[in-house]
Amino acid sequence: ELRCWQEGLREQFPILVADPGQVYLDSAATAQKPQAVLDAVTGYLTSENANAGRGTYRWANRTTALIDQARERVSVFLGDPSPSRSGVHFVSGATEGLRTVARDWLVGELRDGDEIIVPFADHTANTMPWQEAVDLLARQGVRVAVREMPYDAAHDYDMRALPGLMTERTRFIAATHVHHVYGGDMNLARLRAAAGPEVIICVDAAQSAGHLPVDVAAMDADFVVFSGHKAMALPGTGVLWAANRRGARFTPGGWSGTPNTSGIVSLVAALDWLDAAGLDRIARWTVALGARLTDGLRKLPAYEVLGCQRSLAADSTVQQRHGIVTLRHHAIGSNDLGFILAAEGFMVRSDGHCQAHQGEKTSSVRVSLHVYNTVDEVDRLLDVLAGLDD
């Protein structure tokens, strides 16, 4: 039943239908776009393109309305229980969204002696802005301590170690919903429970939006950021959602320029497509494909799956892995493995994956799956990888 549903969806991606010999396994870098998204953009640009909020004529008014409706659409997508009190701001992507929280909110908020917690093994887009904010404050004589979010052996945030790290001066925690290398759901409801109700939590949802439901109420987040292009919209679109609670009232500066109107149109079409397909089902599909790939790799002694040590036999029950499987061959370098796979038609990501402080440890090959990937593609990949096993 899930397979039939998936086949119907896959047909809606023209780039994949055009050349079935090519297997796209890099959706964590950017997702492919369904026809509905392409049609929405073409429709907008060919019938009502104008700048927003500038004119008295129909196209301009329509564009202004589209952007207001897009904010409402994003609130619904994020399960926002009180949209009248929160804010949806359009940004160019997760990187800019996180930077904006750091520069337009955190810098003005922290006081001498405050502390923040940063997950330094997460994507650098979710580590550098916080460190830069603290460095900027230090130059102004405001000292803020940065503590590293503790991880456990399965690369989940270590909730047992967290309380020992927090003090009454802990003001802010940066977190990621789904890790971009290990694919684990970082279980942010548990993070909120361990961190207590007062601390401001900012969530990088770059790898979860479009792959599984992102529920801002369930995570009890204060800020949530994601990239449109990873959620099947055009590049250059992104969302910064702010709850505007706990004193984290957010009024970003410098938003008087022209919005990315066609990008925002593509985002609405993408969110409509994803919700119609069903994010729960999409998550079930990518988790199942990822598990199939991981299970296959575990039978091949030449490979190590990152975050999935053999000693942690039961670790797949600790975390759900959302269609991201990162591997290393014991003898073939990761870039070489990437080239070998590319020659066979498999598009994967190799090398270091934008993780700071990890050095050599992170050179690896990342296979990332989406709803358009098939069981057959995973099995063909495993066949090629098995041919390199020794």
Enumerate the active-site residues: 354
**CB nearer to ligand PMP: pick between 137 and 282:** 282
Smallest distance, Å, CB 203 to ligand PMP?
A: 10
Q: Does 94 bind ligand PMP (CB under 6 A)?
A: yes
Instruction: Please list every residue from 126 through 145 that binds ligand PMP, using CB under 6 A.
Output: 126
Of positions 101, 107, 125, 282, contacts ligand PMP by CB under 6 A: 125
Picking from 296, 229, 293, 317, the residue whose alpha carbon sits closest to that of residue 267 is 229
The values of phi and psi at residue 152, to 5°, are: -100, -175
In whole angstroms, give the CA distance from residue 210 to residue 276.
12
Binding mask 2-41 for ligand PMP (x = CB under 6 A): ----------------------------------------
Contact predicate 31/374, CB 8 Å: no
Is residue 93 a contact point for ligand PMP (CB under 6 A)? yes
- Cβ neighbourhood burial of 172 (10 Å; 0-12, 13-18, 19+): buried
Residue among 180 and 329 whose Cβ is closer to ligand PMP: 180
Query: Using the rule CB under 6 A, is 362 a contact of ligand PMP?
Result: no
Query: Contact with ligand PMP (CB under 6 A): which of 75, 207, 294, 368?
Result: 207
Q: Where are the beta strands (DSSP E) in 136-222?
A: 145-148, 170-176, 200-204
Please, which residues bridge with residue 203 across strands?
175, 224
**Pair of tokens at residue 93:** 């992507």
Instruction: Tell me how far the alpha carbon of residue 321 is from its chain's centroid.
Output: 13
Instruction: Rule CB under 6 A: say whether 185 interacts with ligand PMP.
Output: no
Task: State whether the Cα torsion 181-175-106-135 is positive or negative.
Answer: negative
Nearest to residue 364, comparing CAs of 284, 317, 297, 291? 297
Compute how many residues bind ligand PMP; rule: CB under 6 A: 13
CB 330 within 8 A of CB 317: no
The one-letter amino acid at 59: W
Comparison of 125 and 144: residue with beta carbon closer to ligand PMP: 125
DSSP state, residue 38: H
Shortest approach of ligand PMP to residue 351 CB, angstroms? 13
Q: CB of 1: closest distance to ligand PMP in angstroms?
A: 31
User: Cβ of residue 213: shortest distance to ligand PMP, in angstroms?
Assistant: 17
Using CB under 6 A as the binding rule, whether residue 227 contacts ligand PMP is answered as yes
**Minimum gap (Å) between residue 48 Cβ and ligand PMP:** 27
Triad 155, 288, 369: Cα angle to 5°: 75
Nearer to ligand PMP, 100 or 207 (CB): 207
Instruction: Judge contact between 236 and 41, C-beta under 8 A.
Output: no
**H/E stretch holding 212:** none
Asked if 206 touches ligand PMP (CB under 6 A), the answer is yes
370 binds ligand PMP (CB under 6 A): no
- Cα–Cα distance, 383 to 297 (Å, whole number): 10
User: How far apart are CB 125 and ligand PMP at their closest, in Å?
Assistant: 4
Indicate whether 180 belongs to the interface with ligand PMP (CB under 6 A): yes
Residue 373: CB atoms within 10 Å: 26
- Binding part of the chain for ligand PMP, among 1-9, 57-65, 201-209, 213-221 by CB under 6 A, reads 201-209
CA distances from 330 to 93, 159, 303, 327, 334 (A): 35, 32, 6, 10, 10
- State yes or no: residue 123 binds ligand PMP (CB under 6 A): yes
Taking CB under 6 A as the binding criterion, the range among 121-129, 147-155, 264-272, 362-370 that sits at the site for ligand PMP is: 121-129
Binding residue for ligand PMP, selected from 127, 176, 362, 373, defined by CB under 6 A: 176
Q: Is 204 in the site for ligand PMP (CB under 6 A)?
A: yes
Residues contributing to the site for ligand PMP (CB under 6 A): 93-95, 123, 125-126, 176, 180, 204, 206-207, 227, 354
